[in-house]
Amino acid sequence: MSAYGDITKNGLWKQNSILAQVLGLCPTLAVTTTFTNAVSLGLATAFVMSVSNLTVASLRSFIPYEIRIPVFILIIASLVTVVDLAFNAWLHEMYVILGIFIPLIVTNCIVLARVEAFAAKNTAWQSAWDGAAMGFGLTGVLAVLGIVREFVGQGTFLSGIELIVPGTHAIQMLPADYPGFLIAILPPGAFFVLGSLIAVRNWMDARANKRAMLAATPVSAGA
Amino acid sequence: MTDATEPADKPVAVPPSALRVSMRSTLMMVLFTIAFTALMAGTYLATKPLLDASARDEKLKLIGEVLPTDSYDNKLLEDVITLPPQPELGLDEPSTVYRARKAGEPVAMVVEAAAPDGYSGRIGMILAVARNGDILAVRVTVHKETPGLGDYIDPKKDRNKARPWITQFNNAGFARIAPEAWKVKRDGGEFDQMTGATISARAVTNATRKALAWTVTRSEKLFATATGATYSE
């Protein structure tokens, strides 16, 4: 049980794929222009990571060590293709919206990183959960990036939600004549926001470390 | 670690030779490739009928947005001609022209066009041109314009839901707007654009003008070309 707890904690915060490992920036920068896009890609990635981790962990005893990387890439690319086709065929409405994101998942090196670092050494179900937890950690960061960029860039929240949940609509956060701020929507805006997020995370970690050190050495702290 | 304590006759574990390792690796790689290719091929075959059906629906839906379905009574997706690449329409690949007829009489044509000069590359469009030379409607089919900025050319992304930007072209024709005035206001023409995102609007407006001019001058001939045939000048 605690193994799963550790996996969750690592995925969501301690080894967060973006903030700690700084992996998978290509899709991160490309699609976090709005909250809706960001969360959609995040959840699709979480799903693929979970399935590819599960598959690799189940097959790991058959994969020769020397050629594991090409086999992993083969498995990930095949699974993404299958997910892409299945989405298109059976969830077509959703595919119209998320479709462009699914092939992008292949380019996200966090998928390969988790397969290599975790699924190749752990049991199938733990690996599946690790993929999901890493994916949710990624989704959380993408959501924050999306919210900030959308707010600064176009002054709205939940823009594009009507494509996913019919009948809803975006919320105008700033006056309707807000002219927009182009750089927040373009990739440099993503770098600015991401840099700030990593700085905040490092600051929080540094503070936590200092506290832990003070707590561990009460004598020298008092001196 | 020494093996002094071990019986002398115990065979020493010999690492497999490089040849064996590479043979085994190759075999496994081939097997994995076959298995996962089969998985993809199987999924593809299983989903193909559904994919084809939804691609057709998609096309009909898009055509339905530019051409009301009650304005014609022929089988629109079958009354088609092939157009070789047309630089004037911005197309460098063959495209399809759909011809709408009511009781056998020509009503309108749906043609594809493209603007090569969007802010982020090519903007694909379809437009329906009525027999009298007016545009019925224009829709953007593919584009990469900046989200939240230039993407208002697509009515689904336009924040003005009541009167999206692209509906300015509804029922516009050269009888009402001369070709010289068929530009965005920024360039001294008749069509609105959004401040700060003129390039996308300019690209669509100019491409629409060129496509309309191309279509109206060839209207007779396009309708007269045999169904399924390739159009030639």
> Digits of tens for pLDDT over chain B (233 positions)?
444 455 556 566 777 788 988 898 999 999 999 999 999 999 999 999 998 888 778 778 888 889 988 889 988 888 999 999 999 899 988 888 999 999 989 999 999 999 999 998 899 999 999 999 999 999 998 888 877 788 889 888 887 878 899 999 999 999 999 999 999 999 999 999 988 789 999 999 999 999 999 999 999 899 999 888 889 87
Whether A57 is covered by a domain: the verdict is yes
As given in the structure block, the two tokens for residue A131 are 């993929």
Q: Answer yes or no: is A96 within a domain.
A: yes
CA atoms lying within 13 Å on the CB side of residue A85? 18
Q: Please give chain A's pLDDT, 223 residues, in tens.
A: 468 888 888 888 888 888 877 787 777 777 788 888 888 888 888 999 999 999 999 998 888 888 899 999 999 999 999 988 888 888 777 777 666 677 778 878 888 888 999 998 899 999 999 999 999 999 999 999 999 998 888 888 887 777 677 777 778 888 777 777 878 878 888 899 999 999 998 999 899 889 888 887 765 544 4
- Chain B closest-CA separation from residue A89 CA (Å): 5
| Domain presence at residue B2 | no
pLDDT of residue A5: 86
Is A182's Cβ below 8 Å from some Cβ in B? yes
Please name the residues in contact with B153: beta carbons below 8 A apart, sequence gap of 6 or more.
Answer: B123, B140, B143, B145, B165, B166, B200, B201, B204
Contacts of A150 in chain B (CB under 8 A): 148
Residue at B7 is within a domain: no
* B145, B36: one domain: no
- B91/B185 same-domain check: yes
Number of domains in chain B: 2
Judge whether B6 lies within some domain.
no
In this complex, the residue of B47, B50, B148 whose CB is nearest that of residue A154 is: B148
Contacts of A85 in chain B (CB under 8 A): 40, 43-44, 47, 51
Q: B21 with B106, same domain?
A: no
Give domain status of residue A223, yes or no.
Answer: no
Q: Does A185 touch chain B (CB under 8 A)?
A: yes
Point out the domain boundary residue: B45, B64, B83.
B64
- B196–A62 CB contact, under 8 Å: no
| CA distances (Å), origin B107, targets A141, A189, B4 | 53, 49, 98
Q: What is the domain count for chain A?
A: 1
Answer yes or no: do B166 and B52 share one domain.
Answer: no
List CB contacts (< 8 A) between B158 and chain A: none
Rg of the Cα trace of chain A? 20
In the three-class reduction of DSSP (H, G, I as helix; E, B as strand; rest coil), residue B138 is classed as strand
User: Looking at residue B84, what is its pLDDT?
Assistant: 92
What is the per-residue pLDDT for A219?
58
Q: What CA–CA distance (Å, rounded) separates A40 from A164?
A: 9
Q: Is B149–A182 a contact, with Cβ atoms under 8 angstroms apart?
A: yes
Q: Output the six-digit token pair for A6.
A: 């550790």
Residue B147 carries which DSSP code? T
- Nearest Cα neighbor of B127 from B213, B201, B192 is B213
The interface pTM score, or ipTM, of the predicted complex is 0.73
Shared domain check, B130 and B215 = yes
Spell A197-211 as b/e; 16+ CB within 10 A means b.
bbeebeeeeeeeeee
- What is the DSSP secondary structure assignment for residue B194, as one 8-state letter? B
Identify the domain containing residue B149 by its residue range: 69-224
- Whether residues B115 and B210 share a domain: the answer is yes
Sheet (strand B95-102) strand order: B80-83, B95-102, B105-118, B121-130, B135-142
A160 interaction partners in chain B (CB closer than 8 Å): 157
Per CB-CB distance under 8 Å, the chain A contacts of B29 are: 67, 70-71
Task: List for chain A the helix, strand, coil content (%; round to 5).
Answer: 80, 0, 20
Residue A146 lies inside a defined structural domain of this protein:
yes
Chain B contact set for A37 (CB, 8 A)? 147
Estimate the share of chain B in helix, then strand, then coil, as percent rounded to the nearest 5: 40, 20, 35
Residues B41 and B118 in one domain: no
d(CA A99, CA A87): 8
Residue where a domain stops, chosen among B25, B40, B64 = B64
B33, B146, B147: residue with CB nearest A74: B33
The reported pLDDT for the residue numbered B10 is 59
Residue found by looking up tokens 């937890």 in the block: A133
Measure Cα distances from B220 to B2, B216, B233 in Å: 95, 8, 12
Domain with A13 in it: 2-214
Q: Is A16 left (phi over 0), alpha (psi -120 to 50) or beta?
A: beta
* Residues B30 and B93 placed together within one structural domain of the fold: no
Residue B120 amino acid letter: S
CB within 8 Å: B32 and A74: yes
User: What's the pLDDT at B8?
Assistant: 53
Task: Please indicate, yes or no, if residue A221 is contained in any of the structural domains.
Answer: no
Nearest residue, CB atoms, A74 vs list B36, B43, B58:
B36
Q: Could you identify the residue written with the tokens 């990036």?
A: A145
In a domain, B231, yes or no: no
Tell me, yes or no, whether B79 and B172 share the same domain: yes
- Find tokens 């809706």 and name the residue: A36
Do residue B122 and residue B56 come from a single domain? no
Determine, yes or no, domain membership for A220.
no
What's the pLDDT score for residue A98? 67
Of A33, A62, A89, the CB nearest to B51: A89
The SS3 of residue A215 is helix
Question: Which residue of A lies nearest to B57 if distances are taken between CA atoms?
Answer: A92
Tally Cβ neighbours within 10 Å of residue A116: 15
SS3 B141: strand
Residues 8-37 of A with CB under 8 A from B: 33-34, 37
Residue A222 lies in a domain: no
Rounded CA separation A213/A204 (Å): 14
A82 touches chain B (CB under 8 A): yes
Question: Can you read off the two tokens belonging to residue B95?
Answer: 């495209």
Distance from the Cα of B50 to chain A's closest Cα (Å) equals 5
Chain-centroid distance of CA B104 in Å reads 29
* B89 within 8 A of B112, measured Cβ to Cβ: yes
Same domain, B29 and B133: no
Cβ-count burial A94-108 (b if 16+ within 10 Å, e if not): ebeebeebbebbbeb
Do B112 and B160 belong to one domain? yes
Is the CB of residue B28 less than 8 Å away from at least one CB of chain A?
A: yes
Subunit contact A185:B156, Cβ cutoff 8 A: no
